Every structure is written in C-alpha cells, then in structure tokens.
Amino acid sequence: MKTTSQSLYDRALLQEAAWESVKRLSPRYQVKNPVMFVVWLGSLLTTGLWLQALAGEGEAPAGFILAITLWLWFTVLFANFAEAVAEGRGKAQAAALKGLKKTVWAKKLREAHAGAPFHTVPSEDLRKGDVVLVQAGDVIPGDGEVVEGVASVDESAITGESAPVIRESGGDFSAVTGGTRVLSDWLVVKITVNPGETFLDRMIGMVEGARRQKTPNEIALTILLVALTLTFLLATATLLPFSIYSVGVAGSGSPVTVTVLVALLVCLIPTTIGGLLSAIGVAGMGRMMEKNVIATSGKAVEAAGDVDVLLLDKTGTITLGNRQAAAFAPAAGVSEKELAEAALLASLADETPEGRSIVTLAKERLHQRGRDIHADGASFVHFTAQTRMSGIDWQGRSIRKGAADAVKAHILALGGEWSAAVQQAVDDIARRGATPLAVAESSAGAARVLGVVELKDIVKGGIKERFAELRRMGIKTVMITGDNSLTAAAIAAEAGVDDFLAEATPEAKLKLIRQHQQDGRLVAMTGDGTNDAPALAQADVAVAMNSGTQAAKEAGNMVDLDSNPTKLIEIVETGKQMLMTRGALTTFSIANDVAKYFAIIPAAFAATYPALGVLNVMGLATPASAILSAVIFNALVIVALIPLALKGVAYRPQGAAAILRRNLLVYGVGGLVVPFAGIKAIDLMLVGLHLA
C-alpha cells in the first residue's frame, strides 16, 4: 500500500480532531504537557473566579473574567487540536493498513519441503518456526524466509509498486511479507514471527501517533520550557502580595487581580511552542510515511536530522547499478572490428545487463542487426563463479570473455601470451573507474588475447549536486563498494563523494561506523542483505530495504517500502526539516512572548503603578482591552501555526550557522513584529464592538 497523507483540511479529519481535543481536557492527559497543564490550571482558576463574580463577590467584572476564561480554555483546546490533527492523519494511515489484515488460510507443512503433506490452518494459528506452502494465487500468511522454491510475488499491497518481484531461497531476496500474494510458481516459507509481530502489525503500530515516544531533543526542549514556566510562575505569584503592599504604602490605587495575573502568566510562558511541540514530532513521522518509509520511532526520525556521516552503497545509489559497455580496446595486431565481433559472439547467451550492452555496442560498431548461429551448432559457455568467464564454442573457435586475471590464467594455460600492452589497457580502464573485461580466442591449438572491453558504471545524473548540498549542510558522504581501490577512487571523484571504502566487507563496514561514532558523529546507512545486519544494528540511522532479508529489516530502525537506496538522502532531509521546524517555532514562540510583555504588563499594573503607562507603546485603549487582546492573540497564534507545524518549514540545504541566522531573522524578528500588529488589531476590534 502506497502510504499517502490525509489532507490537512479534510472535513472528517477536522471533525474527529475537534472532538478529540475536547476529550483531552481531562487532567490525566493534560499533565503530560507541563506548559499547557499550567494553562489548564489557570483556566480552572478563572472559571471559579467567574462563578464568584456571578455571586456578587468578584474581584473584577464578571464579563471580563468570563472573556479571559473562555479564551484560556480555547488556548488549551487549540493546543489539543493541533496534536489531534497530527495524530489523526497517522491514525487514518493505520486504519488503511488495518484494512489489509484479513484471515488467511495457510497450508502448513509437516516437513520443510514442497512434497510433504500439509493441512490448512488460519494464519493466526501460525507460530515462529512453522513451515507453509504458498502456491500461485495464494496470499502469504505471515512474514518469513523462503527455504525452497522461486516465485513472482505481488507486493503492491505493502509497497504500492505494481511490478512484481522475485523471491527465492538463499541470498538477499528470500524475505517475504505477510499479506503479499504469489503470482506464479510456489514457495516453501518458514515463518519468522509470531502473530501480532508481523511487519504489517509493526507498520500499524509505527504510524499510530498516540504511541510515539518523545525524542531526546524533544525531552530537552520540554525541560527548558518547564524551567521557563516555573520561573514565570514564581515571578507572577510574587506580584500579588507585592502590589497589595505597594497600594498599602501609597494609600492609593488598587492591587492587581488574580484574573489579570493568570492572563499575564499564560502570555509570558511559551504556550505557542508548548502547544505545538507534540504535533511537530507526530507530523515528522507522518512526512516519513509520505515518502513510504516506516520509522520504528520518533528517535530515528530525529537522529536522521542530526546525521553527520552518510554511508552510501555505490551500486544503485551513486551509480545506475548496471555497468554498460563503453569502448573496445583491441590488442596489438587486432582490429576493433575483430574484437567487437568476438565480444558479440561471446555475449549472445549472456542475459545480464552487461552482456546485453556489449551486444548493443558491438552491433553499433559492426553496423549489423544480428545473426543466427544456433543452426551452426554453437555451444554457449555460461558464467560461473569458479571460472569467472563465459563465451562460445563455434566453428572450431573457442571465444571467452571475463575478468582480466581469469582470462589471463586461461590464455597462459593454453600456451598463449599476455602482453604488457594488454595489461596496460586493463590498468588504464581500472584507473578510470571502469571495469576491464578481457576477450580471448583459441583455435587450432593457438590462443591469443583479442583485447579488452571497457564496462563503465554510469554515475547517476544530478547525484554530484546532491552531494554538494549535503556538504553545505556539514554532512560527510562515504561511498561503500566492493570494487578495488583504483576503481573506487575514480568513481568517488566523478560522483563527488568525500571518502570511500573499497573492497568492503561486513567487518570493514562495522569498523568504519564505530570509528566515526567514536569521533562523536552520527552515522546513517542503508542495507538489504544479511551481511549488512551488523552494520545496520550499529548505525544511528539504519534504513533497511523492504526487498531485503528479515535480518536486515530487524537490524534497522527504518524500512524503505520502495527499496530505493537513494531514499537515505531524502530521509536525512526530512529529519532536518523536522528539527528546523521545531527550532523555527521555538524561536518564534520566545520572541512572541517578548512582544506580549509590552501589551500586558503596563495594562496589568496601570491601577497600581500609573507611571507604567509610558510603556504602552501600542496605544491600547484600556487595561481590560489590552489584557484581553493579548490573551486572544495568544490563543489564535497557535491556530495560525498549526499548518506550518504539520507541513514543516521549507527545507534548504544550508549549514547550521546559516539556518540559525535565517531562523533569527525570519522567525525571531517575525515573532517580535507580529504580536504588535495582531494585538493592536484585536484591541481595535474589541473597542469597536464595545467588548472591553
């Protein structure tokens, strides 16, 4: 299932969020957010003061207290609403995933092979270690590993991709996911999880925002907000006895009221970021889901934003993955046409992308459409890991192509010669980052090398610019490849990566990650095979391909449903966007509070200290309208910022210093200016309506 985000303005979503925000007014829920809990307590207190005023014992007019009380409750509701909208989008995704869960009947085998007898059981009865037979048209009953067979599997219900994939026993493509369907042939699958622990179950749990745990940075910011709230709470609490004492000494004026002090406290504490903090975190995970990435926790998303080092696999990530024949380098005394014809013949039965590209290039050079040599009794020799060569035996000729050292050994064994010029051509091709493929021929007891075919791994278009963006963000890119150092260095230079690890082994990857982590860096990497599992488990952000093995998916803290290795770059960008959003709104919230001081403090103490009227720089009409305007603005600004909190600020590939300067300029200065204009506008409206 391709995960899509529900529209922010979806009517059903907003209605559900509105009802949810009311249900969250319970103290058991409010206490989880210390800043908004203080606002909730203030709302209760002013509600009691309003009831007293109705009974004729009020400290201020009942209408004024009621207006303050209602807007304080709205402030709490709007904060609840922001988080409810964010979680509602996640729950909508979870509900769609739950629709995929259905009872599937499994053919449980008594023994782990296709010919064994089976009996039919519901998928809920399967346990880890059970073995099932899945035939064409059957739904795979649970997550597992293929132990026998090969089949085409439709995984569109999970990934959203319509193209079927091949799953087979052994290797890195043996993992299957419950809920997908076998289209052809059959598989014997060993179940690897118990009911309730499947990948689909984990997906549902991951997207349900209510289960999201706070991240370390979020916890640290919450502690800061609590400290600011306590500071202002203590400061505000001392103002009442101080004002009573001042009035007693002066013998004139009146002390500040509790209602005004509550309004002052709510406007001083960072309610804007306090009300939106949880929504930002939930929305960050939602944006990952939009990119078809399942994050096991908010910590993984946040860590992606703090990543310093990216480990990227060369094949499929930096390069297109399929090496293409680029040129022929004939040996001395051999024409390019002769080499091209031999390479063409040796590649006719080679169905690999490399083999097909040699055929295509040779036909272009020979200006021919092809030939039928099957009728002449041609015998094809297929590639094996032992010989590392393939070719053809035809009309007394034995043509072989393969790795240079393998062809060299083959020629020398037949009594042929491996010239220094051929070796030089091999070295030159490798130095350019390409792969040399030698071509040799033997006939009538004579063997000779015809030349070398250059296979080039094509670097993806635009990838160098992406790496330059990452470099500006302070992120180091490291290419991981099994190629030799010469080839790796050439491709690394062409792609623009900062470093590379050649001839990489699982141990070498693990060592490299630990080395960077010991230097205080956060490391991200992708992987799909069982041999990637140790490195994935060690990495701070580990993205496992959905097409990979169960071991890789269990070791990672994210799963890419599209199995796209370049997705790691987008994941880092999404993580940084979440951190940028949190930083921007925190800056705006604190700057916002500074501006509100000038509105509410002169008004709050106008009766006690008339001289403070000099600070009424906004020219607000009355103390009552000033206080009410500030409280109304404080509530409405949360509503205004909900779309920004959920969508995130615009991402720009900049360094930390540049982002900080931009936040201070846009959200810092904006946070200072907007309240002045907003509070003044609300004050004019209140005066015009004669509400204050």
Helical packing angle, 567-604 and 271-290, nearest 10°:
160
pLDDT of 97 = 57
Residue 519 labeled ligand binder: no
Q: What is the pLDDT of residues 488-503, one digit of tens each?
A: 888 888 888 999 988 8
pLDDT at residue 102 above 70?
Answer: no
pLDDT greater at residue 479 or residue 105: 479
pLDDT of 210 = 39
pLDDT of 3 = 46
Pairing of strands 558-560, 541-545: parallel
Helical packing angle, 271-290 and 216-250, nearest 10°:
160
pLDDT at residue 653 above 80?
Answer: no
pLDDT (mean) for 165-175: 76
pLDDT of 450 = 92
Q: What is the pLDDT of residues 527-579, one digit of tens each?
A: 777 777 888 888 888 888 876 777 777 788 888 877 776 788 888 888 888 88
Residue 388 labeled ligand binder: yes
pLDDT at residue 632 above 90?
Answer: yes
Residue 389 labeled ligand binder: yes
Q: What is the pLDDT of residues 412-436, one digit of tens each?
A: 988 889 999 999 999 888 887 778 8
3-class DSSP state for residue 294?
strand
pLDDT of 43 = 94
Residue 341 labeled ligand binder: no
pLDDT of 99 = 56
Cβ(174)–Cβ(549) below 8 Å: yes
pLDDT greater at residue 6 or residue 135: 135
Confidence category of residue 633, pLDDT binned at 50, 70, 90: very high
Percent of the chain with pLDDT strictly greater than 70: 85
Residue 532 labeled ligand binder: yes
pLDDT at residue 176 above 50?
Answer: yes
Confidence category of residue 67, pLDDT binned at 50, 70, 90: very high
Query: 659-685 burial, b for 16+ CB within 10 Å, e for fewer?
Result: beebbeeebbebbbebbbebbbebbee
Nearest to 600 by CA among 159, 222, 261, 175: 261
Cβ neighbourhood burial of 102 (10 Å; 0-12, 13-18, 19+)? exposed
Cβ(153)–Cβ(195) below 8 Å: no
Percent of the chain with pLDDT strictly greater than 90: 14
pLDDT (mean) for 349-374: 75
pLDDT (mean) for 265-274: 89
Helix/strand/coil percent split, the chain, to 5: 55, 15, 30
pLDDT (mean) for 365-386: 69
Confidence category of residue 264, pLDDT binned at 50, 70, 90: confident
Residue tagged active-site, from 313, 457, 483, 540:
313
Q: What is the pLDDT of residues 194-203, one digit of tens each?
A: 877 666 666 5
Q: What is the pLDDT of residues 434-476, one digit of tens each?
A: 788 999 999 877 889 999 999 887 777 788 888 888 888 788 9
Residue 2 labeled ligand binder: no
Residue 384 labeled ligand binder: yes
Q: What is the pLDDT of residues 216-248, one digit of tens each?
A: 777 888 888 899 889 888 888 888 887 787 767
pLDDT at residue 380 above 50?
Answer: yes
Residue 397 labeled ligand binder: no
Residue 10 labeled ligand binder: no
Confidence category of residue 512, pLDDT binned at 50, 70, 90: very high
H helix or E strand, kind and range, residue 284 = helix 271-290
H helix or E strand, kind and range, residue 188 = strand 181-191
Active site residue 540: no
pLDDT of 211 = 45
Q: What does the mean pLDDT of the chain come to?
A: 81
pLDDT of 117 = 81
Residue 387 labeled ligand binder: yes
H helix or E strand, kind and range, residue 41 = helix 34-54
CA distance 126 to 137: 20
Instruction: Give Cβ neighbours of residue 381 (< 8 Å, ≥ 6 apart).
Output: 389, 390, 391, 392, 393, 400
H helix or E strand, kind and range, residue 109 = strand 105-109
pLDDT at residue 5 above 60?
Answer: no
